[in-house]
Structure 1
């Protein structure tokens, strides 16, 4: 069981890998390194063409929280094992060098433009990155050895030298391997229970029979999802399920089977998943949700600025669930997805009228077919106990609602006599619906304050500050108005302008969720208030003073699956 737990940990470590990437133009089929990566890899993340790492680092806020992280490491010590001290030393070298791009590249021997790969050989993780200075890597590892006492073993396989650092040396051994070959650094694991051929493949000495380049998988992902061809990442749910439900279906399955044989007890912890019923039903689910894929829609970088538009898609062939989720999509204002004009924005798109029936469709689909596999049958029984039909009664009063949003356009702070407040606040809260006037009339009996508020569609706004019971010291005046299909509460001229802009937008289903944040606009008023008070800026905040970055996250559903998008812009100081 100990060995199986180790194997599971290895899979988890590999599944956490994600590599940022660059511009369009490359074709993966021409990359020889891909011939050493099996098509049945559980995950893959590849920077397939040279990425301008040095320019990217200059455009990013370097050293943010590095000093604080170093202090936290010191406070967490002392570290008892050689292995802990070894990795702490490497991490400290990373933190200390990360304050300057040139120092960082020199410390790790990295070129200004790099390619990199993360993937698995069954359960074994492999990481490869281009290296410019081989001696820098050896010096870094030697420093970690001196500080930790963890000494490497100098090994060789098929004429290729490598260093092995022992992670576990009990009944079985696990070593972390570092090897350099033709300008590439490989970091992987080697165990006493894997075949030598596996290490040969990891070190780029033996090609695999069915490689990822032969499969055409990377080109297919890029074409299907409109990703740039230079950078593709994925987690293969089908291969993971195949590995857990079969004895020899792929490389992972064969490794786990061997581990069970070596255990000697004859007990296979995955036996319940290998029955004919479980194998068929788990593979059917995996076929409906085959992969999670990641890539870039666009990307630009220079020393002054970086922009990227990335997307993760949880692929699905389940048309019932995708159709139900699509019905739930609601309205998200365009400014909620803008990363340049506002301080922060949060929006939820939801067609409330479709919520209960859509969830009912999903609920019914999750109970069809009736699973025979015990593990799935128990899960299905739990789902059957959560009938969403009652949700229809709860959402009845909100029928017609298509979305809500809140946006801070601009603000500044003051501190009068120890009472914090706003010098000014430009903000907007909106409720979008087919008939917002009807909704307002429906809730009037339950909110007495609304009885005195009479709104005309696209008429004058009404001051509702007294009804919201906002403390006077906050310095906020709130206005309510009805802008076409939108009931709005706003503050400030910019908030009113945003409300007028909202009135021009068509009420359509365009998403589920959006979150946008400008770190600089959010933090600058805070820094100004602290400086005006004469107090020193706390060290934790001071590290963020030059953090000039804007980000927007979106959640949506398409015909291809569930989409999680990220847009970001970062500028150098």
Structure 2
């Protein structure tokens, strides 16, 4: 069960994470939802999607790459749910509703009756979480909760507050102090939160956004300041307030979260987790956390002209000027080719190796010398006293002058017979002021003694056929970059490094073209694909699933991490073009090839007719007569093809009568091809990969 729960949670988290990232979920404008968020909240995520964003995303797959795992997860949840408490069954049914109806963003929105055009938010009201989002079909929204109540046996009670009806489901056992899930829909906005046994009516009204707090997030101006300081727009703004969270734990009377925590623990006869800390520790810990006050994030630009293009930014704020200066001194040079748009995959790292030992030494010494009377911090200082950053010098001395490195994969093709690369186009470069140090370290290895890399600007041919038959590279210095490459595009990129200065431009970079990466994975020979085999999928099925998952996103992504004056600063840019994911029309007559074990070839396993009227028939013939036949009806949502069997019959040979079998319902994830299409097939027991070729 753990395996499937893990898969389901990861899939749900990935889908929900992408939805947030693309602006579907989030809080709202300052004059609406933020008006009901307490100013001392420790967490807030919010934004509002545009109509263009919603239209771009509506048909994009959410989590349709492994239908078998989802179905097995749902089946196991149903089986285990029989022995669980009503509360656990209630949660299980709600999770099942999400997993079972998350084919595309649009299908999820329709199933839950959501309105993605309205502002939405997640935040903390004291210790209690609040989730608010728009509702388009209130009847459909309540149907999901009513079904969960019916199936679990957990019946809600109804409460009326300020003329608004609230449904509450008790999450604790009858003899325990009450904790309830509270759900209401008011003026087209659903609010989900929790009520506990100490709540007063004013607490409940505020949590349900039926009453504004004395001072709200809109009043504080914190969201407006995020826009000013970081350039965030209205589609997504978020923060986790680490300083405020610490304050609530160490000084519980100071903010709502601490007051809630203190009251609940006292009511249960339990001490505060930091009660044993003395005043010195509280003050020093608060002062240290104040140097890392918030983690903030948001979108900085959204375009929906031809494709959905989005830029986002997140910052772990650092306020200690000397610490920021130390970290910025580590910034190195990321070679420009690692962020090129014409590559499959790019990786880059910038690090000024010469500053590594001084910076680490400075940071360690600063903590050792921090004046404190806190026994816990003093113990940490004593433990750190034995650390000797200079030990790193044994390594950094050998790579002195290094400023960064970059890797770019422009193309790769593998011969299915020899499994050797027939086209390898890549570039590895190291930015350095002292190439001789690097080459000296390389010469100390057995392989390095056989390689002579010139540093005069010329390029040498390096024969690596003893490692991979037929493999040879070119290597040498291009300006201040030590390069090793193979292929035409890599050669051009290497030549461009000749004029590239070693300016400090960042720390880490990752870029990827999902479509080209999907093509690369799809073209891996069967002998390589078998290594992807899992407990439920053959290597060919897993290969098709991974490639399809990447291709359906249709994205180009670039991720940069750097140290700015504001802290540890990450920026991400991606473009998403749904038009690059063509829809498959399955209607027609087809010959089926089973490619579950032969990714490119396969063996014939029958013929199938898929009719425009929503019916179809599959037949298997041994060359003399039909031995198996199934008739079915079908529906299609995006590229998810669902079959409901109406008749299944079989026989062992042509002389026998037909035997009726139990109907087998199944699903196909349809993958477009130049000739026909592929189907990642799943039923209750197995997954397979079929190629539908036009019959005749």
TM-score (norm 2): 0.73
Contact 2:59/2:104 (<8 A) preserved? no
Structure of greater relative contact order (alpha carbons < 8 Å, 6+ residues apart): 1
The answer to whether structure 1 residue 324 and structure 2 residue 329 are counterparts is no
Q: Is the 8 A contact 1:413 1:525 kept in 2?
A: no
Partners of 1:328 and 1:534 lie apart in 2 by 40
Q: Which structure 2 residues correspond to residues 291-330 of structure 1 after superposition, within 5 A?
A: 291-301=294-304, 305-330=307-332
Counterpart in 2 of 1:243?
A: 248
Please give the alpha-carbon distance, in whole angstroms, between the structure 1 residues aligned to 2:52 and 2:172. 37
- Determine the C-alpha separation between the residues in 2 that align with 1:349 and 1:431: 10
Unaligned runs of 5+ in 2: 1-12, 531-537, 582-696
* CA positional deviation for 1:445: 4.8
Q: Which position in structure 2 is the counterpart of 1:9?
A: none
Residue deviations 1:421-479 (CA, integer Å, cap 9, x gap): 3221101111110131453246435556446515143213322324xx4221xx53322
CA contact (8 A) 2:28 2:46 kept: no
Question: How far does residue 355 in structure 1 lie from its aligned partner after superposition?
Answer: 0.4
Show the counterpart of 1:559: 565
Residue of structure 2 in register with 1:337 after alignment: 339
CA contact 1:109–1:131 (8 Å) conserved in 2 = yes
Paired residue secondary structure (1:395): helix
Aligned residue number for residue 42 of structure 2? 42
- Separation in 2, partners of 1:251, 1:143: 35
Q: 1:286 aligns with which of 272, 286, 289?
A: 289
1:504 to 482, 499, 503: 499
Post-superposition offset of 1:41: 0.2
Gaps of 5+ in 1: 1-12
Do residues 515 (structure 1) and 510 (structure 2) align? yes
Deviation of 1:203 (Å) = 1.0
Change in Cα spacing, 1:21 to 1:354, as seen in structure 2 (3 Å) is: same
1:146 to 127, 143, 150: 150
For residue 272 of structure 1, give the secondary structure of its aligned residue in structure 2: coil
Q: How many residues align?
A: 546
Secondary structure in structure 1 of the residue aligned to 2:405: strand
CA pair 103-27 structure 1, distance change in 2 beyond 3 A? closer
Specify the alignment match of 1:3 in structure 2. Answer: none
Identify the match of residue 468 of structure 2 among 467, 471, 474. Answer: 471
Q: How does 1:329-368 map to 2 (within 5 A)?
A: 329-338=331-340, 340-368=341-369
The alpha-carbon distance between structure 1 residues 520 and 51, as it changes in their structure 2 partners (threshold 3 A), is same
Alpha-carbon displacement from aligned partner over 1:33-56 (angstroms, at most 9, x marks no partner): 222111110111111565655324
Q: Is the 8 A contact 2:167 2:184 kept in 1?
A: yes
Q: How does 1:333-412 map onto structure 2 within 5 Å? A: 333-338=335-340, 340-412=341-413
| Aligned position for 1:136 | 140
Is contact 2:237–2:298 with CA below 8 Å preserved after alignment? yes
Structure with max Cα Rg: 2
Q: Give the TM-score of the pair, scaled to structure 1.
A: 0.88
Q: 1:313 to 1:346 in 2, by over 3 A?
A: same
Query: Counterpart in 2 of 1:491?
Result: 486
Give the corresponding residue for 2:438.
Answer: 439
Structure 1, 162-171 or 38-47: larger mean CA deviation = 162-171
What is the deviation of 1:211? 0.8
Provide the rounded CA distance (Å) in 2 between the counterparts of 1:40 and 1:331: 40
